[in-house]
Amino acid sequence: ANTLYDLNVSSQKENLGKSLLDGFYTKEPPHYMVPFTEGIHPNEKLDQALEWLKLDDDKRPGLIMVYIIEPDHTGHLRMGEKGKKLDDALVLVEKALQNFFAKLRAQNILECVNILIICFGPASA
């Protein structure tokens, strides 16, 4: 769902609906796509990426993107609720990434991929 909750923007949780860019990409569809489902553990998403990386050249996607909702989701909580929950969200993501990198190393894939990690959202805790 395209929703926003940020006290700096509004005190209400807002459904942003369709954006102006919806449907902007009109070329071929992706080879593989897993619809976003909130609540899926980062390990499960990263394990799927690993499975795609292990495919033969003719089946392996050239670009794999994984969206992990944390810590951005927790960062949008009200200030009083944030503290420990934000710390826990950061630990969750850190452990998932450590696990992913260990699996890439074990499969001898780490040196064959380029990985870009982007984090956005509230910068204050």
Q: What is the DSSP string of the chain?
A: --EE--TTT-SS-EE--S-TTTT---SPPPS------TT--HHHHHHHHHHHHTS-TTTS-S-------TTHHHHTS-HHHHHHHHHHHHHHHHHHHHHHHHHHHHTT-GGG--------S----
pLDDT at site 125 = 46
pLDDT of 38:
84
Rounded-to-integer distance, Cα 2 and Cα 111, Å: 35
pLDDT string in tens for the chain (125-residue length): 445 555 555 566 555 555 554 555 566 777 888 888 888 999 999 999 999 999 999 999 989 999 998 888 887 776 666 678 888 888 999 999 999 999 999 999 999 999 998 876 555 54
Model pLDDT, residue 48: 96
Residue with tokens 């949008």: 76
Q: Rounded to an integer, what distance in angstroms lies between the CA atom of residue 125 and that of residue 122?
A: 8
> pTM for the full model?
0.71
